[in-house]
A and B are shown apart, each in its own frame.
Chain A
Amino acid sequence: MTGARLALAELRARPGRATLTSVGLALVLLLALSVTALADGLVRGSTGVLRALDADVVVTDEAANHQLLRSRLVGAERTALLMRPDVATAGQIGLVPTSASVGGGAPERVTAVGFSPDAPAMPRDTVDGRLPRPGEPGSAAVDVALAGGDVVVGDTLSLAGEREVEVVGLVDDASFLQQPTVWLGQHDWARLRQAVQRDADYAEQLVGATVLQSTEHPEAVATAITEEHDELAVTTREGAVAAVPGVSAQQVTLGAVVAVTLAVAVGLAALIGVLQVLERRALLTALRAVGAPARTLLASVAVRGVLLWVGALIVSTAATVILATVAPPSVPMEVRPVIVASVGGISLVAATLGVTAAAWPILSRLDPQDAVAEEPL
């Protein structure tokens, strides 16, 4: 406790001295938080369509290798899967890249998702309105990200510049490959596909991937189906998320960047520990001379470092939120509490270790006799 009081007293007495150090720490933490938020945003922006579904197993044809966009499974093929005792229910989705404009505005790239009216193929939640009803033509539920968030229920959407549908509902966090999604019933989707991919005929059933709700562990179900069906590529929803183009590479690359940033933070903490001790060497020596144990002094240095770190974390979190708000829409930064908690927690532990490990060798060698000697230059 004495160490903590010492640290707090010093911070109160000389707050200005801590300011620049805090700015340096805050910038390194801002970097760590920005990279993590960006990595998270990139992955979530590419995989929302899968996470929005209430499915735990994803089936594509073997050649598609878990890729939703390339899979050409026909809806009727799911009947065989439905007969399995380890499958509770099955649905079908089909994806077509196209463009959409709201109310005659500028067109933007979207992914049109055709879905069967089965639980695993439908988005779990709508934030407004509803999903298109089975057999209801000319209706769509759209991602709230469309048109910069300015789309509302009742708007008219022009798909691929030629097919118009009415927005009947809004879904959140359902994008695919950084593009908003438009959820359509089978008929509208098949018409759109025919218009966009003119080498494709009108599809009587959705062509794409089959999604399942399993009654047993999803991984076991995926393995069992794979063993029985050579022509299928079956994986868990998490496996399908990892198979989305670019996701695993982004995770590895940006994960390495986050690790280096945290290493920088630890190095900076060590530097601060060294500088704190060197800057106050004479005072710390005097405290040793009047009986303060080296451990108490170390505690004061560590507590001061932690307090600076917490202050820097608060500042950097606010800065990251501001950065994510003012960044152009093409920068998919998402500052979620879990990101702040994980980066803050890991860096705090690492920084405490860095400060103490760097400061202890100097503190433990402080000689109380130096306090009565001429002050060294």
Chain B
Amino acid sequence: MFLGLAELRHAPGRFVVLGVVLGLLVALMTALATIADRHVTDLTGKVATSPADLLVLDAAAQGALQASRIDDEAAAHVRQHAAGAELAPVGEQRMGARVADGELLDLSLWGLDPDSPAAPEVIAGRLPRQPGEAVLDVADRAQGAALGERLTLVDTGTVLEIVGFTAEARFGAIPTAAVTYDAWTEIAAEAADADPDEVEPTAMAVRADGGVEELAAALNGSSSPVQAAPPSSLASQLPGVAGVRASFGLLLGVAWMAVAAVAATFAVAGVAHRQRTIALLRAVGAPRRRLLAALTVQLLVVTAVGAVLAALLVVLAAWLAPADVPLRWEPGTWAASAAVALAATLMASAVAVVRLARVAPVDALGARR
């Protein structure tokens, strides 16, 4: 161990370069994992955080909220199979909006009744109870949202007062607001130039007293006009989610292999560079185990230094990143990435161990080169 640390102190240059490379790779892994998590939360949070036991969509919408409408037939089907359960309509529509006099934003506007199974949880302020009130997600503070501030829906000219904030409840990775369902119906009707009675809910929220799986199975029976699923399950089926998870998972896998390959390259080159020194140490009686430990310690120390560097880089990047880049400093994700990098480094050191094990004491005499 001391041998390994002594060499680190004696010739720090190449260890510094390796530490920087590993640090960048760990930072990359941390950023990829964080971005993937945050992006999925931004895409699906409003659905995933729904307190309902089940959300019911139009079967033909194939899990896409924007394509879903619960018509009379579907609503009757839900009422028939969910007798005794608490039901509430849910509305979702995309609109143009301005916070105060800020720039024009794309907004996902939800209609959710405050005392229903669909009611969102607020972390500040309160739920909307009047037609002119709305809650926004706390992430939208970056757009200037604050309690008491105005939210203007450009499509209809409706002015809403922000009375509360939700957390991790965005939808479609855009600013997300919720009003009462009746207020949403009025707004949706005005935007579509239709009568409020013609506006159908996008989905229905169901709260059951147990037997959720059985209820879902009953609602999803053959030729059912609806698709019922728990919010978390529905969130994972929303458009784009599977792609984001699979894509970033793929990239993380490649990054992990890159860490292992870089560490292995360095370790093998290190053994080749010091072959005669290692052979001499073997010739004067240094056990092979001790030399292996020195090599492993060097790799672990450099990876640990790289991980610390990665933490600094991610903190800096999160601080500098624009608001629409979902990068945050999340210690858990960084720790997981650093642990994975350490594991990759240990695996990589096995390649060098094989090479080191082949170094014979006689090599010290230069007989084999």
Contact = CB atoms under 8 A, between A and B. Distances in A.
B198 interface: yes
B102 interface: no
B31 A260 contact: yes
Q: Which one of A98, A107, A256 has the greatest number of beta carbons of chain B within 10 Å?
A: A256
Contacts of B272: 17, 279
B325 A245 contact: no
> Size band of the A side of the interface?
35 or more
B265 A24 contact: yes
Contacts of A267: 17, 20-21, 24
Contacts of B172: 245
A178 B62 contact: no
B101 to A, nearest CB: 15
B21 A330 contact: no
B198 to A, nearest CB: 5
Given A97-B67, A257-B32, A245 B14 contact: no
B28 A257 contact: yes
Contacts of B35: 253, 257
A42 B67 CA distance: 21
Given A199-B198, A328-B246, A377 B24 contact: no
Contacts of B69: 196-199
A322 interface: no
Contacts, number: 208
Contact of A34 (B60, B94, B250): B250
Interface stretch (B76-84, B127-135, B188-196): B188-196
Nearest to B20: A267
B189 A199 contact: yes
A82 B147 CA distance: 46
Interface in A346-377: 358, 375, 377
21 contacts: A23-B261, A28-B258, A42-B247, A72-B191, A99-B67, A160-B67, A197-B192, A201-B194, A253-B325, A256-B317, A260-B27, A263-B24, A274-B13, A275-B14, A275-B269, A275-B273, A328-B246, A332-B243, A333-B247, A377-B276, A377-B277
Given A178-B240, A330-B242, 16 more contacts: A20-B264, A27-B257, A38-B251, A65-B154, A67-B94, A69-B66, A69-B94, A97-B66, A178-B239, A196-B69, A249-B326, A256-B325, A260-B28, A275-B269, A279-B272, A375-B276
Interface of B: 13-14, 17-18, 20-21, 24-25, 27-28, 31-32, 35, 39, 59-64, 66-67, 69, 71, 94-96, 104-106, 154-155, 172-174, 188-189, 191-192, 194, 198-200, 239-240, 242-243, 246-247, 250-251, 254-255, 257-258, 261-262, 264-266, 268-270, 272-273, 276-277, 280, 317, 321-322, 324-327, 351
